[in-house]
Structure 1
């Protein structure tokens, strides 16, 4: 069964960087069975109703400013697969989750920056999914659970976001790691590895420095979605964790 994954996408410039994290992403395909399709929840696509992409060949969305010119020349011309999009929508319907197909939206950097490192040839069908920050954490998890059977069909489920994501606290010149960011991530690690969903659903009240780490929750949601997709086996493995700019976490979790 294909594991589900959470990948932090960091700053958009991550796609240009060479470090331990990007090396992990670049080598991912070498030790992972080739998926039939990729279903990816992006923190940068927010909708009030669960949206499922079905756009044919995707345009590349540059939803950021002030970065290297090279980033704005990059493209990721992946295509969707209508049959997979409709299957995703059918699974949502089966679990009582309203959804709509979106035939126009391209891939934002939460999707393409990660995918360009994982599968640079853009030759695997991609189904992008939106997130909704106003749902409870339990419901986020249940949305991931609804798609779990796709893993049995060689579909790769990815949540793309970031556990510690507070742009106001970034130190662009820092080479160290802020203690509060590490303490929050360590708490999250403990609860993921013990599969303590009740604690995770209440992380804002229970986790140290939760308000600093997660001032808004759209980047945290993809972690719960990816975890939910792994509910049948309930095994979480941290593949990597590092930080940019003092506290912007770059983590990769595998759920299988």
Structure 2
């Protein structure tokens, strides 16, 4: 069974960086079976109704400003897979989740910056999926759970976001790791490894410094979605965690 993953995508400039985290992403393809397709939830694809990418070939969205000129020259023309898009829609319908196909939208930086590091040739079909910040945490998990059987068909499911993502609290001098960020992530690690969904669904009330770590939830949602796809086996493994600017977490979780 193909594992699912959560990848933090940090800033758009991640794709240009060389550090331990980008090294992990660049070596990912060599350490894992090549999937027949990728289903990816991005924190930057927000819709009130669950949307499913159904483009023949994706355009590249530059949904950021003020970064290096080189980023605006990058493309990631991944092919779509209409049959898989339809299958995803059928799985959602089976689980009572309304969805729509989107033939127009390209890949935002939450998708292409990560994928370009992992599979730079853009030769694996992609189905991009939206997130909805207004659902409950349990509903987010159930959306992921609805897609779990795709893992048995060599489909790689990715959630792209960030566990600690508070741009107002960034320490631009980047000295050390803020205690509040590490405290939140340590709590999160404990609950994920124990597969304590009851606590995770209530992270806003139970986790230390939750308001600081997750001021808005769109970046946290992909973690719950990816976790939900692993509900059958319930095994979570932290592959990497580091920080930029004091508290912007770069983490990778594997769900077996």
TM over 0.5: yes
Could you tell me which residue of structure 2 aligns to residue 188 of structure 1? 188
Indicate whether 1:104 and 2:74 are aligned. Answer: no
CA distance in 1, matches of 2:244, 2:72: 21
Q: Give the alignment of 1:35-74 within 5 angstroms.
A: 35-74=35-74
Q: Which residue of 2 aligns with 1:249?
A: 249
Gaps of 5+ in 2: none
The farther-off stretch of 170-179 and 32-41 is: 170-179
Aligned to 1:16: 16
Runs of 4+ in 1 over 6 A off after TM superposition: none
Cα drift, residue 213 of structure 1: 0.2
TM-score by length of 2: 1.00
Q: CA-to-partner distance for each residue in 1:127-183, whole Å, 9 max, x for gaps?
A: 000000000000000000000000000000000000000010011221311000000
What is the distance in 2 between the residues matched to 1:220 and 1:27? 25
Indicate yes or no: 2:162 matched with 1:162.
Answer: yes
Question: Which residue does 1:32 correspond to in 2?
Answer: 32
Equivalent-residue separation in structure 2 for 1:58 and 1:176 (angstroms): 39
5+ long unaligned stretches in structure 1:
none
The equivalent residue for 2:116 is 116
Distance in 2 (CA, whole Å) between partners of 1:79 and 1:150 is: 18
Deviations 1:175-202 (A, max 9, x none): 3110000000000000000000000000
